[in-house]
A and B are shown apart, each in its own frame.
Chain A
Amino acid sequence: MLKYLIPLALFLVLVVFLAIGLGRDPHEVPSPLINKAAPTFRLPQLKEPTKTFSADDMRGKVWILNVWASWCISCRDEHPLLVEYAKTRAVPIYGLNWKDKREDALQWLDELGDPYVLSVSDLDGRIAIDYGVYGAPETYVIDQSGTIRFKQIGAVTPDVWSNKILPLVQQLNRQGSSK
């Protein structure tokens, strides 16, 4: 009896491992930046390039940095959701316009709406490298102390927004006000 049970057990273990492996998206690489300080930057603003914006300006606030580009196809899927979420004013969303042409980016915002408090232009993609960006859209939740608390690779979905991002933002805001 045992003779048959051992191979069966081994087979089941293999099946479980394979099932877990198949269920994973190989494109989602866990970011080493979670719970690390968000890389700092000072970049020109998209709409007013003479002004700059820095991650340090957001100290003391919970905010979202969304990496987007007009050439990015999934960004187009994600965009209407961001516009909708921005209206709820749950959390300020800032955009990092990644390796985009300024005219294209401005036209995109004109056409599809602008969910961002402001966007900054990362023309040569250097800041994106600092943030470990490898496929737009990517979304970071950054807390009051400037620490990255969450990263979404690929488009934010309603599920991710209401089950992960919003609860996290609320929790961070509560912790921040109790201090």
Chain B
Amino acid sequence: MMRSLFVSLLLLCAIAPFAIAKEAEPTGDDPAVEQRLMNLSKELRCLVCQNETLADSQADLAADLRGEIREQIKAGKSDKEIIEFLTARYGQFILYRPRVTPTTYLLWFGPFVLLLGGLWVLFTYIRQRRDAVAENPLSDDERRRAEELLASASGKETM
């Protein structure tokens, strides 16, 4: 009894992945088309699961869009035309690498501005500190006391 239960459980486990897996998408027969589709869809964002590329996404919309791109490739459209087609409908959001336009300057150059600002703060801080240290040299009196203290300290150590 236990044994047959165990076997059927094992069988169930073996079958489960096939039950979960979706029906395979119709793939084109032309490997060159598929390669271009793959390269393009890696650059494009799936709008349903926004942190996935169109290439990775399992969403139905992503499958539809891949189908659309495949057909456009077959129709002889260039990559640029296809990207244009998609951004006209879904906006720049669909691009994983947003274009450099005045609205995205902050996005593209902001980190470098922050880096420069950080460097400026760092250098001014270091310069200030160096000046502050250099401005207060020991007086003769202080130097003599320091030497005395050092001498007595080393004297103790040897004992």
Contact = CB atoms under 8 A, between A and B. Distances in A.
A26 to B, nearest CB: 6
A41 to B, nearest CB: 13
Contact of B68 (A30, A31, A126): A126
B12 interface: no
Contact of A30 (B88, B89, B91): B91
Interface string A1-41: 00000000000000000000000001101111100000000
A25 B48 CA distance: 13
Interface string A141-159: 0000000000000000000
B89 A130 contact: yes
Interface in B53-82: 60-61, 64-65, 68
Nearest to B50: A26
Contacts of A26: 50
B105 interface: no
Q: How large is the interface on A (under 10, 10 to 19, 20 to 34, 35 or more residues)?
A: 10 to 19
B40 to A, nearest CB: 15
A108 interface: no
Contacts of A33: 88-89
Given A134-B47, A135-B47, A125 B91 contact: no
Given A32-B92, A125-B64, A129-B89, 18 more contacts: A29-B47, A29-B90, A29-B91, A31-B90, A31-B91, A32-B88, A126-B68, A129-B64, A129-B65, A129-B68, A130-B89, A131-B89, A132-B89, A132-B90, A134-B47, A134-B48, A134-B61, A135-B47
Interface of B: 47-48, 50, 60-61, 64-65, 68, 87-93
Across the A-B interface, the 4 shortest Cβ-Cβ residue pairs: A134-B47, A132-B89, A32-B91, A29-B93
